[in-house]
Structure 1
Amino acid sequence: MYKALTVYLLFCASLALAQPAADTLFVRDAVKNTIGFYTTSIQGQTSLYNGSQYREPNRSNNDQHPFFENDDWVTGTVTYDGQYYEDVPLLYDITSDKVVTENYYNADQIVLVWEKLDAFTIGDEAFLKLSHKTLPKAGFYHVLYDGETKVVARRQKVIREKISGQSIDIEFDPRYRYFIFKNGAYFPVKSKASMLKVLEDEKPALRQFISKNKLHFKFMREEALRRVAAHYDTLKKQP
């Protein structure tokens, strides 16, 4: 949990140097509030329960669900309405970009108000609300790598219904998109070629690094994106 918080703090601080004015104000406020956070018990914190009741999409089997990674409560943190909360039970519905918590008093599932939620973690995974003209839409993005160069992922699932005999099977089809933040803009990436195009000023050295470490973007895309971005930052720091 503390690892994820550290990632979020570093991400916000460095992003503030490159974001446009409106985004910079958001990041500055988020950093200010988070650095000055206080630890509080979830019990009695009714400000988290002012959202609407959550209604989960229909399912046809227990193997398919609309959530990020897990369909059971995972303890996390939230930066919500200017305050920081720890030990919050969370689910992240990536079909609708809704973050859900459990009401301590009656076990209702409550959707955290989107406009009030700036960032959250689920386990050690950090998510930050981003809005930028070079991103496809405003929403929560998974922070995969946070250095001078950033790598973020947009996690989504598309609901699909298939007729099987006399029943309808409901599937949740994952759709993940990846972006590199460099020189004040986000660039979509999904392959070695697209990543090297964004980081072309160090292309020969990165090609060598990818080959030496046997990084296969098709089978280990997220690890490859993280490691190549980190190596790029190392190269840029060399005299």
Structure 2
Amino acid sequence: MDCSKKTFINSYFQLFSFLVGFLLNFVLCHGQISEKERDYYLLFDDFIGVDNTNLYQGVLYVKEYRTINENTQFFRSDDFLSGSIDYNGQMYFDLDLKYDVYNDELLLKIIQKAGGGTIKLFKENIESFEIEGRVFEQIYAESLPTGFYEVLVKNAFFTLYAKRVKKKFERKDTFIFDEFLDGRSEYVLCYTNKYVLLKSKKSITGLFPEFKNDINEYYRKVNWRTKTDTDGFHIGLMKRIEIQLSNTKKPLVK
């Protein structure tokens, strides 16, 4: 390669590396990515090729279960869904992803020019991912199983998560196949830098004793939703507590 061309490419690569480093630092400080910043990441991936980034690290995925209908181990659909991922401290967008809820693993469809196929990404490298507008973060805490938890509510005071569950059943027809059905989600609250499993009303009033009367009232009025819409029940309750906190306390998260 001509030296001048090599210098030209190296200069551009250094420029893109600087931009990505700057944007990553910004994201870590502010926790959000604007559309313009997202475009910079995509431009970087286009420049060097997403197949040349650190994203393509994982184990070749081999189908483990025999399923015949829409009741699979995957989140929302057996098809690949559009999403993004924070992998090894780098953001990647416009990916084809599958979230295996049963095994708590994330699958990535490899682009054809890189050989095609599907890989199971190294879980320890995944900070968070978004799939079809739903955000999941990996939680490491002594009080909880390590894994991916969906973000339901995130504000200056706390974050409410849901741990999605799939249950496997072996079915017998003319042949044996597997079927996966949604289990009951578990709800976790990150408050004052601690993760707490919300097992009952008592666990919530224990965190917010000053709002005990309001919490009791909420349970009396909408307790029926705990059987039909557990997400909506917990989101509604925590939104109510958020309003109370905003009137009485300073934000805990900057």
TM-score exceeds 0.5:
yes
Higher share of residues assigned helix: 2
Matched residue of 2:227: which SS? coil
Report the residue type matching 2:50 in the other structure. Q
1:40 paired residue among 39, 42, 58: 42
Q: Which runs of 5+ in 2 are unaligned?
A: 1-24, 249-254
The correspondence for 2:124, drawn from 115, 124, 143, is 115
Does 2:149 align with 1:144? Answer: no
Matches within 5 A, 1:48-197: 48-105=55-112, 106-135=115-144, 137-147=145-155, 148-162=157-171, 164=172, 167-175=175-183, 176-192=185-201, 194-197=203-206
1:192-211 alignment runs, 5 A limit: 192=201, 194-209=203-218
Whether the 8 Å CA contact 1:103–1:109 is kept in 2: the answer is yes
Higher RCO (C-alpha 8 Å, min separation 6): 1
**Displacement, 1:192?**
4.8
Which consecutive residues of structure 1, in runs of 5 or more, have no partner in the other structure?
1-27
Q: C-alpha deviations, 1:182-205, integer Å up to 9, x for none?
A: 233222225555544543330212
Q: TM-score, normalised by structure 1?
A: 0.76
1:23 aligns to what? Answer: none
- How many residues matched? 210
Following superposition, the deviation at residue 64 of structure 1 comes to: 1.4
Q: Who is 1:31 aligned against?
A: 28
Instruction: Indicate the SS of the match to 1:201.
Output: helix
Cα 1:100/1:60, change in 2 over 3 Å: closer
**Contact conserved, 1:126 with 1:142, CA < 8 A, in 2?**
yes
Residues 1-16 of structure 1: pairs in structure 2 closer than 5 A: none
Percentage of pairs with the same residue? 24
Per the alignment, in what secondary structure is the counterpart of residue 226 of structure 2? coil
What CA distance in whole angstroms lies between the structure 2 residues aligned with 1:161 and 1:203?
44
Please tell me the root mean square deviation across aligned C-alpha atoms, in Å: 2.7
CA gap 1:99/1:165 in 2 versus in 1, 3 angstroms: closer
Structure 1 residue 95: deviation in Å? 1.5
Question: Does the residue aligned with 1:40 lie in a helix, a strand or coil?
Answer: helix
Q: TM-score, normalised by structure 2?
A: 0.72
Q: Matched residues in 2 for 1:129 and 1:207: separation?
A: 31
Higher Rg of the two aligned structures? 2
Q: CA deviation at 1:81?
A: 1.7
Asked whether the equivalents of residues 30 and 118 of structure 1 are also in contact (C-alpha less than 8 Å), the reply is no
CA separation in 2, counterparts of 1:102 and 1:165? 32
Cα distance, 1:160 vs structure 2: 2.5
**Contact persistence 2:70–2:77 (CA under 8 A):** no
Q: Deviations over 1:115-136 (max 9, x none)?
A: 221111002111111101121x
Distance 2:240 2:217 in 1: 11
CA distance in 1: counterparts of 2:77 and 2:205, whole angstroms: 33
Relative to structure 1, is the Cα distance of residues 218 and 192 closer, same or farther in structure 2, using a 3 angstrom cutoff? Answer: farther
